[in-house]
Amino acid sequence: MIRSRGLRASICLSAARTRFYSASPFAALSPEQINPKISKMEYAVRGQLVLNAQDHIKAIKSGEERPFPDVVLCNIGNPQSVGQQPLTFPRQVLALCTCPSLMDDPAIVAALPADVVARAKRILGGCHGMGAYSESKGIEVVRDSVKAYIETRDGYPTDVEDIFLTNGASEGVKTLLTMLVCDSSDGVMIPIPQYPLYSAAITALGGSQVSYFLDEANGWTLSTECLDAAAAKAKAEGIKLRTLCVINPGNPTGQVMTEENIKEVIAWAAKEGVLIMADEVYQTNVYDPTMKFHSFKKVLRSMPDLAETVELVSFHSTSKGIIGECGMRGGYLELVNIHPDTKEQVYKSLSVNLCSNLPGQVMTDLMVNEPQPGDPSYESYRAEFDTIFESLQRRAKKLVEGLNALDGVTCNQTSGAMYAFPQISMPAKWLEHCSKKGVPADTQYCLDLLDATGICVVPGSGFGQVDGTWHFRTTFLPQEDQMDAVSERLATFHSKFMSDFA
Amino acid sequence: MIRSRGLRASICLSAARTRFYSASPFAALSPEQINPKISKMEYAVRGQLVLNAQDHIKAIKSGEERPFPDVVLCNIGNPQSVGQQPLTFPRQVLALCTCPSLMDDPAIVAALPADVVARAKRILGGCHGMGAYSESKGIEVVRDSVKAYIETRDGYPTDVEDIFLTNGASEGVKTLLTMLVCDSSDGVMIPIPQYPLYSAAITALGGSQVSYFLDEANGWTLSTECLDAAAAKAKAEGIKLRTLCVINPGNPTGQVMTEENIKEVIAWAAKEGVLIMADEVYQTNVYDPTMKFHSFKKVLRSMPDLAETVELVSFHSTSKGIIGECGMRGGYLELVNIHPDTKEQVYKSLSVNLCSNLPGQVMTDLMVNEPQPGDPSYESYRAEFDTIFESLQRRAKKLVEGLNALDGVTCNQTSGAMYAFPQISMPAKWLEHCSKKGVPADTQYCLDLLDATGICVVPGSGFGQVDGTWHFRTTFLPQEDQMDAVSERLATFHSKFMSDFA
């Protein structure tokens, strides 16, 4: 239907004609034309080592010979890719939410525990199903569960409107950093070693990474003296500190912060007037019975002078913990002491993505709202949960012991998270060898380890380390029988490495 | 475990002491401190109107009186939020993928069509389940299905390695724009009117929006003369054109491009050396039986001189079409004629998010890989699909007829997508009234429409329009009986509006 109108500005109306031009290939987006911030960005967890590992996997699948029976992916905290079974209860509930018509069939309902059906109905009652965009913050019925979880965990009130559901924690972290970082004068304090999402996001945004070093000799503790040193250096370079990122429990380091230490860090942030970004995705992964997870929110609320002033954003995810639902990309962030108008900007930023995925939202509910004693699913859920937890605990201990038994390798106790980050004293001959090749010594170590044993770990340079020290990060996620084989293959490789180069 | 090491640079080791500071509230992230690119960003589809609509919904729920029985959300293409039922087959398959143990129960298997079970097994055979991060590009078994779909649709070969699964199309669009836009010298050509994801992303990246106007008097066609005009203006301002974004079928305009028109646009892009970003998320939503969807890829491949040179990225989504699975956040992008090293950068950029959500990946498979004649689910799937399609077709026609029947309102035929974008000739008295209030005339019209009728639509200013013209965007997604009521309520409101102000 075509009509002309009175009120129209001049726009082009002449009939179009077809014209052809020849074009040069790759004229528009050659590698040189890519935004240099993106070209510069690094993300080691999925880099060359992983591509090499995938080549080995394909080769073995197609019958090619390799000096190892299989590839063991210890490069990423992805438990279900290496044999961890999903918890049954959340999956049953999510299946019913996904296909509510299953509940119309009495045979199917009879085959499932009653609390599974009830839980699915509760969630579906609070949304338009898994196929509709939810409100930008995520469906309220899930945010209610998150609120209750945080209140029970911390003992302080939480406003459901301060909770935003996100696609994993990564989306939340990137959203906040995008609000904070405008150019290279904006500094983001991150631990070294760190999880490379942070360095990658800072590079992509053109901000300045302000590195503070965790103290390896003291079990990877975070000291305010190191924060002071990093801040002083940044300020001398004209960088304004915008935020202090803390990962607790630590990735890749596995340390768990004490309540006292968190208090010091909060007081430091208050002094400097920086916002705290607390990456608390491993809050359920504390294996050391003498340690306990303390949330930054709880500790902050316990400090009368600062409770209502220090700005804090905390992040959580369904990918870690015991639930380990990485593929669901569920997570949330909580805003604490954030200006109301700033909250609106967070809302707007997340709105542009419309909403986080609904299955991930539901999985977030199921992570924070577990079956309770007396519920039909309680016993089996608890048994599955405890089995995974205790196994992770054993694997963490065993892996670290195995690493410390190696010549020239030292590794701090892994109190939490999913990783060990051992230090390797590289022989001088090896350093020379790598220097000639132009490859960092830890990267070459990991490449050779992969080719010799099929074990895929990530070099310390991907996370940051004190200059002149060399590390790698390995998960302890493969199942227990496989972890034993990993320790053996690693020991054999390392012993040959030391005899060749030491 | 604590050990000292030889090879360590000087990091701070002194014992930490607790110190307290008082902090000012909102010192770190006050609204003034937010990255101005983010503050400036606008996203009308989820703006003030939607918040007002939510207030009305809550009020009605809690028993408050309103001059309308319910709020009708026509602000967003979110079919399942307004009564569209999900297609049964994809949901059944996804439920089994979510909870594979359901397939251990013969009663459950017996209750489901055999092809549902087979399809779930095919997908689960190609991944580590819904709970593991997949490879960054998405699981290969799904990308294989996408490849087959594109090849069948277009009749040209597709490389599975050029397909990347994304969280909806939005993530793909933002990833590409982030690679292309470094600063305000980088121009992104977008249609006016446009879907505000584009303007929001350009603002957030600090790039320059280069607006080309669709020709409302000619059914919202895209003419190369308008591209020329926009390009000349941008170049005169020192802006380098980086990419030409095209939305086909159009959002918010509902036009469908002819093959001839697409050829002209491709030739134009070749002449200018710009990459084409083809937003083709409404490819299944073509209602006019005289029109047909032509993909940019197919048309490009049919142009011998340009087939291998013009750079193209096309985007698709599970959110639209007939499947309408917005909440799943599934989608993909296909790279065409992109430099191999640039592809690696796309890979790296998406890797930082680890992967798109697995339920969304599976839904993408089910969108492109439908039950075929002879499959147990075929007949019922077809019936559900056709019912939705035909109803959308009827609603599109009826809505546009209803709009054109209103005094001072004109609306082009909606050939595709999910929207109508009528123009309103605003009476001079109304323009004066709004000018005094300092609110754009279309925004105030939509605010008043909402308060009087409960109908939530989005003002044209959120999408862009020729200066001095006024529009709004409305979906035709509410179910048919409700759409009739919408037309009636709108007619009553508009008639009073005209009698008050004309």
Three-state secondary structure call for residue A336: strand
Mean pLDDT for the stretch of residues B300-329? 96
- pLDDT tens figures, A168-185: 999 999 999 999 999 999
Residue B465 CB neighbour total at 10 angstroms: 23
Identify the closest residue of chain A to B397 by CA–CA distance: A1
With contact defined as beta carbons under 8 Å apart, do B1 and A422 qualify?
Answer: no
Q: What is the pLDDT of residue B41?
A: 85
Identify the closest residue of chain A to B37 by CA–CA distance: A182
Give the phi and the psi of residue A396 in degrees, each rounded to 5.
-60, -45
Structure tokens at A431: 């350093």
Instruction: Annotate A422-478 with three-state secondary structure.
Output: CEECCCHHHHHHHHHHCCCHHHHHHHHHHHHHCEECEEHHHCCCCCCCCEEEEECCC
Q: What is the pLDDT of residue B21?
A: 55
Is residue B3 over pLDDT 80? no
Q: Please state the domain extents for chain B.
A: 40-83+389-501, 86-125, 132-368
Q: Which of B1, B29, B119 to mutate to test the interface with A (most CBs of A within 10 A)?
A: B29
What are the start-end ranges of the H helices in A237-339? 259-272, 296-301
According to DSSP, residue B216 is labeled: G
Chain A: nearest CA to B489, how far in angstroms?
24
Instruction: Please give the class, per CATH, of domain A44-83+385-501.
Output: alpha beta
Q: Which of A75, A344, A357, A404 to mutate to test the interface with B (most CBs of B within 10 A)?
A: A357
Instruction: Judge: A357–B327 Cβ closer than 8 Å, yes or no.
Output: yes
Distances (CA, A) of B151 to A219, B322, B486: 56, 20, 41
What's the farthest any 2 CA atoms get from each other in chain B? Answer: 87
Contact partners, residue B428, CB within 8 Å, separation at least 6: none
According to DSSP, residue B220 is labeled: T
Q: What is the pLDDT of residue A46?
A: 67
Which residues of chain B lie closer than 8 angstroms to A80, CB-CB?
128-129, 131-132
Instruction: Judge: B19–A215 Cβ closer than 8 Å, yes or no.
Output: no
Instruction: Judge: B311–A342 Cβ closer than 8 Å, yes or no.
Output: no
Measured between CB atoms, which of A35, A54, A351 is closest to B178? A35
Measured between CB atoms, which of A37, A43, A264 is closest to B352? A43
Q: What is the mean pLDDT of each run of 10 residues along chain A (502 residues)?
A: 38 40 73 87 78 93 94 93 94 97 92 96 96 94 98 97 96 94 95 94 95 96 96 97 97 96 97 96 96 98 95 97 97 96 91 92 98 97 97 94 95 95 96 94 96 95 94 94 89 95 88
Q: What is the pLDDT of residue A26?
A: 78
Identify the closest residue of chain A to B228 by CA–CA distance: A12
Instruction: Judge: A469–B5 Cβ closer than 8 Å, yes or no.
Output: yes
Instruction: Judge: A329–B136 Cβ closer than 8 Å, yes or no.
Output: no
Chain B: nearest CA to A92, how far in angstroms?
6
Measured between CB atoms, which of B128, B134, B306 is closest to A23? B306
- pLDDT tens figures, B340-369: 999 999 998 898 888 999 999 999 999 999
Identify the closest residue of chain A to B309 by CA–CA distance: A25
Which residues are paired to A312 by β-bridges? A276, A336
Instruction: Judge: A223–B12 Cβ closer than 8 Å, yes or no.
Output: yes
Measured between CB atoms, which of B108, B226, B305 is closest to A22? B305
Chain B: nearest CA to A376, how far in angstroms?
17
Residue B40 CB neighbour total at 10 angstroms: 12
Topology given in CATH for the domain delimited by B132-368: Aspartate Aminotransferase; domain 2 (3.40.640)
* Rama region for A155: left / alpha / beta (φ>0; ψ in -120 to 50; rest): left
Instruction: Judge: B12–A225 Cβ closer than 8 Å, yes or no.
Output: yes
Instruction: Judge: A22–B270 Cβ closer than 8 Å, yes or no.
Output: yes
Which residues of chain A lie closer than 8 angstroms to B400, CB-CB?
1
Which residues of chain A lie closer than 8 angstroms to B399, CB-CB?
none
Q: Which of B5, B12, B140 to mutate to test the interface with A (most CBs of A within 10 A)?
A: B12
Q: What is the pLDDT of residue B190?
A: 97
Instruction: Judge: B352–A425 Cβ closer than 8 Å, yes or no.
Output: no
Instruction: Judge: B1–A219 Cβ closer than 8 Å, yes or no.
Output: yes
A151 or B30: which leads in pLDDT: A151
According to DSSP, residue B286 is labeled: B
Instruction: Judge: B133–A31 Cβ closer than 8 Å, yes or no.
Output: no
B258 or A6: which leads in pLDDT: B258
Identify the closest residue of chain B to A220 by CA–CA distance: B2
Which residues of chain B lie closer than 8 angstroms to A132, CB-CB?
78-81, 326-327
Chain B: nearest CA to A447, how far in angstroms?
19
Structure tokens at A22: 């020849």
Q: According to the CATH classification, is domain B40-83+389-501 in 3.40.50.300? A: no
Structure tokens at A159: 């406003």
Chain B: nearest CA to A174, how far in angstroms?
10
- Angstrom distance (rounded) from CA B279 to CA B299: 15
Is residue B91 over pLDDT 90? yes
Predicted confidence band of residue B17 (pLDDT cuts 50, 70, 90): very low
Domain with residues A126-368, CATH architecture: 3-Layer(aba) Sandwich (3.40)
Mean pLDDT for the stretch of residues B116-136? 96
Instruction: Judge: B345–A22 Cβ closer than 8 Å, yes or no.
Output: no
Three-state secondary structure call for residue B171: helix
Q: What is the pLDDT of residue B45?
A: 66
Chain B: nearest CA to A282, how far in angstroms?
17
Report, in angstroms and rounded to the nearest whole number, the Rg of chain A calculated over CA atoms: 25
What CATH number has the domain spanning B86-125? Answer: 1.10.287
The one-letter amino acid code at B257 reads: M
Which residues of chain A lie closer than 8 angstroms to B270, CB-CB?
20-23
Q: Which of A99, A288, A303 to mutate to test the interface with B (most CBs of B within 10 A)?
A: A99
Identify the closest residue of chain A to B300 by CA–CA distance: A20
B47-80 in b/e form (b: 16+ CB < 10 A) is bebbebbeebbeebeeeeeeebeebbbbbbbbbb
Mean pLDDT for the stretch of residues B54-58? 93
Measured between CB atoms, which of A9, A19, A133 is closest to B468? A9
Q: Which of A40, A98, A197, A199 to mutate to test the interface with B (most CBs of B within 10 A)?
A: A98
Which residues of chain A lie closer than 8 angstroms to B243, CB-CB?
28
Which residues of chain A lie closer than 8 angstroms to B15, CB-CB?
223
Identify the closest residue of chain A to B108 by CA–CA distance: A108
Chain B: nearest CA to A33, how far in angstroms?
8
Measured between CB atoms, which of A91, A359, A468 is closest to B357? A359
Number of H helices and E strands in chain B, helices first, is: 17, 14
Which residues are paired to A469 by β-bridges? none
- pLDDT tens figures, B400-432: 999 999 999 999 999 999 999 999 999 999 999
Instruction: Judge: A328–B130 Cβ closer than 8 Å, yes or no.
Output: yes
How many contacts, defined by CB atoms under 8 Å, are there between A and B? 482
pTM check: above 0.80:
yes
DSSP B425-474: ---HHHHHHHHHHTS-HHHHHHHHHHHHH-EE-EEGGGT---TT--BEEE
